[in-house]
Amino acid sequence: MAFDPRRYVSWFPPTGFTLYWFDVFVHDSFFVIGLRSSMIISAVVTAGSLAIAIPCSFALARYDFRGKESLNTLILSPIIVPGIVTGTSLLILFYSYLHVYAAMPGLIVGQTILAIPYVVRTVTASMIGFDRSVEEAARNLGADELQTLTEVTIPIIKPGIVAGAIFAFSTSWADLSVAAFLTDTSTFTFPVAMMDYMRYNFDNTIAAASLFLVIVTALIVIVTEKTVGLDKFIGLW
Amino acid sequence: VDTGSKRPAKSVVLGFLRRHPIILSLTPVVVLMIGMYIIPLIILLGVSFEKFVPGSFVPEPVFTLENYNRAFSPVYMKVLTDTLWVSAVTAVLTVILAYPLAFYVVRSQSVTRKIVMAFLITSFFVQLIVRIYAFLHVFGDGGVLNQLLLFLGFHKVQWLGGWWPIIISMVHQGIPLAILVQMGSIKAINPELENAARILGANDTTTFRRITLPLSLPGIIASAVLSFTGAASAFVTPLLLGGGRVWMVANYVYVRFTDVLNYPFGSAMSVLLLVLSLVAAYGTTALLSRYVKIK
């Protein structure tokens, strides 16, 4: 449908071939702004949730402490709690209480919260069964703490970290439940732009945008296969 | 620069962190989850008991039950019950359709397994909005389904505005995650147990019912809960596939917050949605795990 030349509400199958809709898509500032916001936000959310989740996974996988079970429940709860509830509560916090009317901080925080359970899960899974004597061996052979971390520990848990990053990115990239609430005139994500467009228009610009997203998805899957391997990726879940 | 006097303090801090690695590594996540997740939820609960001031982001801080009175009025109760049954049907269909696929991906040795897996992961990552666009072309007035009906000599049916396009679309969205969740417990089943049951004279049906199914139940429960809460909080799907006529709880939440800016009433609906999800999660778990014990 993305290549359909008909200029009105048109149904499958297409009647010819044109690149007109891609032209509309790339020149529509609405989509372009959305795409730019989405890319910035997803990158920050991925980096942020990794930075927060990796140390947490270390603690969960290696130590026993009081309240570990409750902490686990707390961290995994955003999967059960409807995303829309997370979105609305952050909206109230930022608008009514903190009087911050820019959407960016809330968006980043909200999507990080949605991503954290997935990242913690995959990174923790990659640490379970980790043979700690390898680290001790490195220390005995003269490596300091930092070297042991960067040369031994991180390479071993790398599949978990990469899988976590992929989860975090795609959670943020596809999120609508937080993003639908936290928008302002210059900050709205690409899915929100598409949703708003679809509410009032039904033409093939959406097909062009969808095709673009499908290509991005295919790239994510290819990157997953090349870095972690699909089998391992599924296994980490 | 006066580093001399700072160094002891710094080394005290570093030493403390080195001796307490758990505190160091958990502080960020705890600060984020309490400060930006638990506290906002408590504020949401509080706001749901406050009074709406038209045109203002900040509600009047007086205690009132009017938001909940309104939420429990017949109009909204209808929305709530609709949301409940639609989500329940979605969850049941998702679990039933996902189970054989999960089983196949875990147990099969064939080449097609890799293809199924690639499909699974691709559809896990495909954006909701793209799926909805595709479903519009299936169920729309001139969509594929109606073209097929016309071709077969039937009349066109107006699908959009009914529940089925929404349910089918939500099942389609839920299946990949359900498969991922179910795979864990299917993988954990030792095939020897099934062999043992067969050797002891059980037929395939009995083996499945008494051994395989109960052992894969944790995954089934988890996937049922996730599909239910996912469907219960859906608002984009009903918004775009509902033809403007079918509304779920989350749609009211969305409109109250973004169009009318009635935060207190929107909060009350959010709280109801949250309670609904938690009750469903714990209810399903309790119900299904009792079933296992009796068997």
Task: Summarize pLDDT for A40-88 with one digit per residue, the tens.
Answer: 999 999 999 999 999 899 888 888 888 888 998 899 889 888 889 999 9
Other CB atoms within a 10 A radius of the CB of residue A219 amount to 11
pLDDT mean over B221-245: 87
Q: Of A163, A194, A165, A167, whose CA–CA distance to A37 is shortest?
A: A194
Residue of B nearest to A85 (CA): B270
Choose the closest CB to A59 out of B22, B32, B281: B22
Q: Of A30, A27, A36, whose CA–CA distance to A194 is shortest?
A: A30
> What pLDDT does A7 receive?
61
Chain A residues inside the 8 Å CB shell of B25:
55-56, 58-59
Element (H, E) at B249: helix B249-258
Chain B residues inside the 8 Å CB shell of A195:
129, 236, 239-240
For residue A135, CA distances in Å to A154, A166, B21, B230 come to 11, 27, 16, 41
> What pLDDT does A112 receive?
95
Other CB atoms within a 10 A radius of the CB of residue B64 amount to 15
Choose the closest CB to A210 out of B21, B133, B267: B133
| Residue B242 forms contact with A (CB below 8 Å) | no
Higher local confidence (pLDDT), A27 or B44 = B44
pLDDT mean over B74-86: 90
* Distance between A176 CA and the closest CA of chain B, angstroms: 8
Q: Do A55 and B183 touch (CB under 8 A)?
A: no
pTM: 0.85
**Cα-Cα-Cα-Cα dihedral sign, residues A67, A73, A74, A75:** positive
* Distance between A52 CA and the closest CA of chain B, angstroms: 6
Q: Do B128 and A174 touch (CB under 8 A)?
A: yes
* Distance between A108 CA and the closest CA of chain B, angstroms: 11
Residue with token string 């875990």: B106
| Residue B281 forms contact with A (CB below 8 Å) | yes
> What pLDDT does B14 receive?
66
For residue A208, CA distances in Å to A34, A211, A215, A236 come to 15, 5, 11, 34
Q: Is pLDDT at B247 greater than 70 in this prediction? A: yes
> Which of A69, A85, A197 best probes binding to B when mutated, by most B CB atoms within 10 angstroms?
A85
When pLDDT is cut at 50, 70 and 90, the band that residue B59 belongs to is confident
Chain B residues inside the 8 Å CB shell of A71:
26, 30
* Distance between A215 CA and the closest CA of chain B, angstroms: 10
Choose the closest CB to A65 out of B22, B40, B142: B22
Selected residues 70-129 of chain A with any CB under 8 Å from a CB in chain B? 71, 74-75, 78-86, 88-93, 95-97, 109-110, 112-113, 116, 120
- The SS3 call for residue B40 is helix
| Residue B205 forms contact with A (CB below 8 Å) | no
Q: Is pLDDT at B8 greater than 70 in this prediction? A: no
Which of A111-115, B124-128, B140-144, B288-292 shows the lowest per-residue confidence on average (mean pLDDT)?
B288-292
Q: Do A71 and B181 touch (CB under 8 A)?
A: no
User: Which ipTM value was assigned to this complex?
Assistant: 0.82
pLDDT mean over B239-253: 85
Q: Do A181 and B257 touch (CB under 8 A)?
A: yes
> What pLDDT does B2 receive?
47
Q: Of B166, B182, B82, whose CA–CA distance to B131 is shortest?
A: B166
Choose the closest CB to A82 out of B43, B266, B277: B277
Question: Mean pLDDT over all residues of chain B?
Answer: 84
pLDDT in tens, B180-193: 888 888 888 888 88
Residue of A nearest to B142 (CA): A11
- What is the percentage of chain B residues whose pLDDT exceeds 70? 93
Selected residues 76-115 of chain B with any CB under 8 Å from a CB in chain A? 105, 114
| Residue B126 forms contact with A (CB below 8 Å) | yes
> What pLDDT does A8 receive?
61
Q: Do A55 and B26 touch (CB under 8 A)?
A: yes
When pLDDT is cut at 50, 70 and 90, the band that residue B204 belongs to is confident
**What's the start-to-end Cα distance of chain B, in Å?**
74
Chain B residues inside the 8 Å CB shell of A52:
28-29, 32
Q: Is pLDDT at B246 greater than 70 in this prediction? A: yes
When pLDDT is cut at 50, 70 and 90, the band that residue B7 belongs to is low
Q: Do A82 and B133 touch (CB under 8 A)?
A: no
When pLDDT is cut at 50, 70 and 90, the band that residue B294 belongs to is very low
Q: Is pLDDT at B17 greater than 80 in this prediction? A: no
* Distance between A195 CA and the closest CA of chain B, angstroms: 7
pLDDT mean over B241-248: 82
Choose the closest CB to B37 out of A113, A225, A237: A113
> Which pair of tokens denotes residue A150?
């960067």
Of all residues in chain B, what percent are helix, strand and coil, respectively (each to 5)? Answer: 75, 0, 20
Q: Is pLDDT at B5 greater than 60 in this prediction? A: no
When pLDDT is cut at 50, 70 and 90, the band that residue B293 belongs to is low
Q: Do A74 and B38 touch (CB under 8 A)?
A: yes
Choose the closest CB to B257 out of A88, A199, A206: A88
Which of A2-6, A79-83, B94-98, B155-159 shows the lowest per-residue confidence on average (mean pLDDT)?
A2-6
Q: Is pLDDT at B200 greater than 80 in this prediction? A: yes
Low-confidence ranges of chain A (pLDDT < 70): 1-2, 5-12, 15-16, 235-237
pLDDT mean over B36-57: 88
Q: Do A84 and B181 touch (CB under 8 A)?
A: no
Selected residues 1-20 of chain B with any CB under 8 Å from a CB in chain A? none
